[in-house]
Amino acid sequence: MTETALPRPGQPPKQTWPVILETHGWKDYRLLDMGHGRKLERYGQYTIIRPEPQAMGTPKLKSSAWDRANAVFTGDTDEEGPGRWKFSGNVAETWNMSYGPVSYVGRFMSFRHVGVFPEQAAHWDWVTEKIRAEKRRAPEKQPKILNLFGYTGLASLLPATEGAHVTHVDASKKAITYARENQSLSGIEDLPIRWICEDASKFVAREVRRGNTYDGIILDPPKYGRGPKGEVWDIYTSLPGMLEQLQQLLSKDALFMILTAYAIRSSFVSIHELMAETLSKQGGLLESGELVIREENSARALSTSLFSRWSSQ
């Protein structure tokens, strides 16, 4: 692990890497088994099999456990590749789950997704603690959080329940609809969340021009995507410019910025160095590594994504 001395604002951040953040599951999620390029998971009442290139070992459970799965995704093995679901027995199109104070809908979506990325729980908890610490320091403050590429909204809903004012941005109208459905299901329609369907790069550029700032930024970009007007996003060419602009959106008392990358062929060192360059005068702490999910009743861990996150303390 590499570390440097803790700096003051105006100096480069302290740097710590590699850091492994683990998710062990919760009531509505477990990684049950993995191997031979697949993973067996439980989401609420359903067990699901999906392709997983990172699962290169051998399954530990008997084949009968896999045979009892309610749904299996078959097709392209690329994370964003097309395919289809095969179901066993009576399986609902949607079902309800929860994490802490937030309820959310599970659904069998295209490209193998089910409406939640469980490895992100490590970030959800971290953000919660950062907001709570700030509220203890300044009880009347309502931290402003920006969640880009916000998907179905758990990373927006959870900070809102802690007293933050959240701006949620996603280019997909469908994703925004699902996120607002989760807000309604959680019974927190009255909490201050702005839902914005727009290309993230365009939104960030406009916020910079307006001089707006945020106390926390959550950034979970895809490897590749298109905005509502055909705007092209490629993480390798688009991310550096966006990070430079996001640095300008950090308030003078900013709490954190989180970057998660699912482009596994990249490296956490690469995104760490990019964040370090972007936040070279921000002080605080910058830590980078991998998000992993720990298998139930096992010491094995599944690597899911890369991350780099900065905090003021």
State the alpha helices, DSSP H only, in 144-302: 154-161, 173-185, 200-210, 235-249, 268-278
Q: For position 262, what pLDDT does the model report?
A: 87
Q: For position 263, what pLDDT does the model report?
A: 66
Q: Could you say which architecture CATH assigns to the domain 29-107?
A: Sandwich (2.60)
Q: For position 112, what pLDDT does the model report?
A: 86
Q: For position 80, what pLDDT does the model report?
A: 52
**Distance separating alpha carbons of residues 216 and 69, to the nearest angstrom:** 39
Q: For position 104, what pLDDT does the model report?
A: 98
Per-residue pLDDT of 277-297, as tens digits, reads 999 999 999 999 999 999 999
- Least Cα distance to 179 among 159, 214, 155 occurs for 155
**Other beta carbons within 10 Å of 295:** 23
Give pLDDT < 70 ranges for the chain: 1-9, 76-82, 263-266
Q: For position 8, what pLDDT does the model report?
A: 60
Residue pair 105/181 in contact by the 8 Å Cβ criterion: yes
**Distance separating alpha carbons of residues 217 and 259, to the nearest angstrom:** 9
As a dihedral over the C-alpha atoms of residue 43, residue 45, residue 51, residue 57, rounded to 10 degrees, the angle is 90
Token pair for 188: 């927190």
**Distance separating alpha carbons of residues 271 and 260, to the nearest angstrom:** 9
Q: For position 74, what pLDDT does the model report?
A: 87
Per-residue pLDDT of 47-63, as tens digits, reads 999 999 999 999 999 99
Q: What are the structural domain ranges in the chain?
A: 14-24+117-311, 29-107
**Distance separating alpha carbons of residues 53 and 39, to the nearest angstrom:** 9
Q: For position 150, what pLDDT does the model report?
A: 95
**Distance separating alpha carbons of residues 7 and 247, to the nearest angstrom:** 18
Chain mean position to CA 166: 15
Q: Indicate if the alpha-carbon torsion angle 139, 144, 147, 152 is positive or negative.
A: positive
Q: For position 229, what pLDDT does the model report?
A: 77
Fold of 14-24+117-311: Rossmann fold (3.40.50)
